[in-house]
Every structure is written in structure tokens, then in C-alpha cells.
């Protein structure tokens, strides 16, 4: 069977998994999941992933979901020669794990709060301007200014 990735093409987490697999030289069988048609709520998908989220990876019967967990799994299993991507050194790996956890717990939550209401609802432009002025955008600006101050972004 090989590696099968249940995938939403416009999803950044799905793309991250696809990019890492390509970097590692892995062949993925891509299985598109149409959320708008309810593919993720069908019995056959729920049997694989009861949280009904994408991406979901099936590696010869071993199923894992969440892009962060999938990325770590792929590196641990297939990335042995790619030490620069996910180093064995605990401090270097901790920096990568820190960024993955930050993305999962902080960044995504604020992106969701900021963009989802705009993209998936019919908010008025004045509401959008208010979100920009008072919401997550200010948080992003302040956070990234602090993180990047005097540092080269790689």
C-alpha cells in the first residue's frame, strides 16, 4: 500500500506534509478530501481518523493525523540521513519542536481567529477594518517584531 496522504490542496498543513515527503524522496499516494462535500465525515474516513481532520497519513496501516505529528513521524522514520532537517542534538531539535508547538498552539489559533471569520462569513468591511485595528493583526505585528529583532530569519 505505501504512504497514503489524505489531503486538502489549499491547506498549508497538508502542503507542509507533502513538501517534507518530497524532500525525503518519499512517494505519496494523494487522496484528495473534499471538505465541502463532506468527505471527511464519511464512515470510511472516520474509521481512519475519528477527528475527521486533514492531513491524515496512512503508512501501510499505521494511521496518524495532525500535520505536526505527521512531520515528526516522517522525520523519525524516513529522515535518518536528513539530520539538518530534524537534528538529533537535543537543543537543536528543541528549537524545531518549539516552532512546531508555537505554530500549533499559538499561531494557528490567532490565524484562525483573524482570517476564518472573514473568509467563511459575510462580514462587512467596517467589521474587517475593526478586526485589523484591534485584533490579531496587532498581536502578529508585535510578536514578530519581538521574535525577529536583530535576528536573521531562516
Q: Which residues are catalytic?
A: 11
Q: Which of 3, 38, 48, 41 is nearest to 22 (CA)?
A: 3
Q: Which of 85, 77, 84, 81 is nearest to 16 (CA)?
A: 85
Q: Which of 110, 91, 111, 101 is nearest to 67 (CA)?
A: 101
Cα three-residue angle 39-41-45, rounded to 5 degrees: 75
Main-chain phi, psi angles of 120, to 5 degrees: -105, 5
d(CA 21, CA 114): 30
Amino acid at each position: 500500500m505505501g504512504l497514503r496522504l489524505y489531503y486538502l490542496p489549499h491547506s498549508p498543513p497538508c502542503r507542509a506534509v507533502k513538501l517534507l515527503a518530497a524532500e525525503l524522496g518519499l512517494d505519496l499516494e494523494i487522496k484528495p478530501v473534499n471538505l465541502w462535500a463532506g468527505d471527511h465525515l464519511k464512515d470510511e474516513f472516520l474509521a481512519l481518523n475519528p477527528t475527521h481532520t486533514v492531513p491524515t497519513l496512512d503508512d501501510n496501516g499505521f494511521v496518524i493525523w495532525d500535520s505536526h505529528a505527521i512531520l515528526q513521524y516522517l522525520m523519525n522514520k524516513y529522515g535518518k540521513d536528513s539530520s539538518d532537517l530534524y537534528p538529533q542534538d537535543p537543543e537543536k531539535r528543541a528549537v524545531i519542536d518549539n516552532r512546531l508547538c508555537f505554530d500549533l498552539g499559538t499561531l494557528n489559533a490567532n490565524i484562525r481567529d483573524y482570517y476564518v471569520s472573514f473568509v467563511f462569513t459575510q462580514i462587512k468591511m467596517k467589521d474587517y477594518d475593526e478586526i485589523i485595528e484591534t485584533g490579531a493583526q496587532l498581536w502578529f505585528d508585535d510578536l514578530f517584531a519581538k521574535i525577529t529583532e536583530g535576528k536573521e530569519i531562516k
